Structure 1
Amino acid sequence: MFALKRPISLVIVLFWFSFWMLNALDKILARKDLGSFRWWGNDRIEKFTMYFDRLSIDAAHVYPTLMFAGIVEFAVALPFLYAGYHLAKGKPGAARLADLAIALSIVIFLGFAIFDVIVGDRAELLEHSTYVGVLLISFLAIAAEMFFNHLRRLTQEENVEA
């Protein structure tokens, strides 16, 4: 019978995988007509056009910049997917992979926050800073689940020996 040993960690990892994948798609598919529907997403093209205007950068660089950011976000999603696979299969090393994915995510948000300060977008700065806090809480929740699972195993071992 299949028994998931770390369901909270799996949900957290799958959440962050979905988050990064959808964010990547939001940048790559910004305002694209996909046939059956149009991908609207966030107003990234407009925002980046305004940012680049503030920085005196040609607006022709907006879409390539969004594509680059989307590719980076897709790359950050992959360690979460891999960690989720390890968690679902009960393979060792899942926590280490999740930690790596969370650390990479924090680094990406740090980069976004620096850009937010440069272009003067305090709302985006607050948003990106909030995500760092949620990532730290995710890290703590994964660590807590590991700790309590360890305590549960120790208690079960003591009960078997008694």
Structure 2
Amino acid sequence: MLKNKINTNQLIKYSILVYWSIFWFFNILDKLIGGSVFLWVGRDRFAQFQKFFASAGLESPIIADAALVVAAGLEVFAFVFFTGALIHFLKKRQDTSRSWFFIGICFTLITFTIFSIGDHVFGDRFELLEHTLFWFLTLFSWVIFIRLEKNTTNDGDILITKKQLLMASLVSVLLVLCTSISIFSYNENYFHRRTDALPAIPVGENIYKVSFPFLGGSTVFEKSIEKFKNENPTKKINHIYTVPNPLRLKKADGLIFYIITDNKE
């Protein structure tokens, strides 16, 4: 009968390793893609970091880019050690797996600590909440992993049957299917918002306002300017202003800019 059952402790440890490996893999992939493509709604991290550092008076893009490279390096190390821990775990090298997992946890805690400090400096409360929650989740993962390891050889381990595992797998597949359908639906019906030109709304004499959509990037900006020029052939653009930093930082991804024009002679 025991052959038809699976140790729950081992299953949870495996899930923890898989979660953090996938977590850092997608974070690294997001930085490599650097924006939005088909089936991927990401951010331009270089632009985001430059905006954060500029809000603190450090407008040189080299500083922001260097900080992003360091952050990406920490994420790569975390991914490597979590994935290594997973491989050793599958090969039943428990001690080696625990060592690799511990180093991955350390890199993760360092990464989220640095991010949280940056969130304080740049005044991004949403990111601060997110990174703080992940910091505690990382610590919680280590505590659970160690406690489960101590109880692995106990006779009182909770076991689940293969039927229960199959049911859990089916539920997981259904969740993945629902998520996939949602992603495809977004790309089919709403992805155009990431690339389409935006209308310029007049808010005063020769003043026009443009509000970016969620995660809008440089493509939207360039197309919006081109659209404005085509729709207003009698106007010439003198200046383009963004809203003050304190207002802009309260919007996680949005951007508002104003087009100041004059009549062509």
Report the residue type matching 1:19 in the other structure.
F
Instruction: Please identify which structure carries the higher strand content.
Output: 2
Q: Which one has more relative contact order, counting CA pairs under 8 Å at least 6 apart?
A: 1
Matches within 5 A, 1:1-162: 6-31=10-35, 37=38, 39-42=40-43, 44-58=45-59, 60-61=61-62, 62-63=64-65, 65-93=67-95, 94-152=97-155
Summarize deviations over 1:91-143 as a string: whole Å, max 9, x none: 14212221221122111111111111111112111111100111122112212
Taking structure 1 as the reference length, the TM-score comes to 0.78
User: Do 1:30 and 1:39's aligned partners in 2 also have CA atoms closer than 8 Å?
Assistant: no
Q: Distance in 2 between matches of 1:120 and 1:6?
A: 41
User: Do 2:82 and 2:100's aligned partners in 1 also have CA atoms closer than 8 Å?
Assistant: yes
Task: Report the CA distance between 1:45 and its aligned residue.
Answer: 4.3
Q: Distance in 2 between matches of 1:66 and 1:45?
A: 7
Instruction: Please identify which structure carries the higher helix content.
Output: 1
User: Do 1:6 and 1:87's aligned partners in 2 also have CA atoms closer than 8 Å?
Assistant: no
Task: Report the CA distance between 1:67 and its aligned residue.
Answer: 3.9
User: Do 2:36 and 2:43's aligned partners in 1 also have CA atoms closer than 8 Å?
Assistant: no
Q: Distance in 1 between matches of 2:103 and 2:50?
A: 33
5+ long unaligned stretches in structure 2:
157-265
- RMSD of the alignment, in Å? 2.7
Taking structure 2 as the reference length, the TM-score comes to 0.50
Greater Rg, structure 1 or structure 2? 2
Q: Comparing 61-70 with 120-129, which one deviates more in the overlay?
A: 61-70
Report the residue type matching 1:15 in the other structure.
Y
Q: Alignment length, in residue pairs?
A: 150
Alpha-carbon distance change, 30 to 67 in structure 1, aligned in 2, over 3 angstroms: farther
5+ long unaligned stretches in structure 1:
154-162
Alpha-carbon distance change, 38 to 109 in structure 1, aligned in 2, over 3 angstroms: same
User: Do 2:75 and 2:107's aligned partners in 1 also have CA atoms closer than 8 Å?
Assistant: no
Q: Distance in 2 between matches of 1:128 and 1:138?
A: 15
User: Do 1:106 and 1:132's aligned partners in 2 also have CA atoms closer than 8 Å?
Assistant: yes
Q: Distance in 2 between matches of 1:81 and 1:21?
A: 9
- Structure 1 segments of 4+ aligned residues over 6 angstroms from their partners: none
Task: Report the CA distance between 1:27 and its aligned residue.
Answer: 1.7
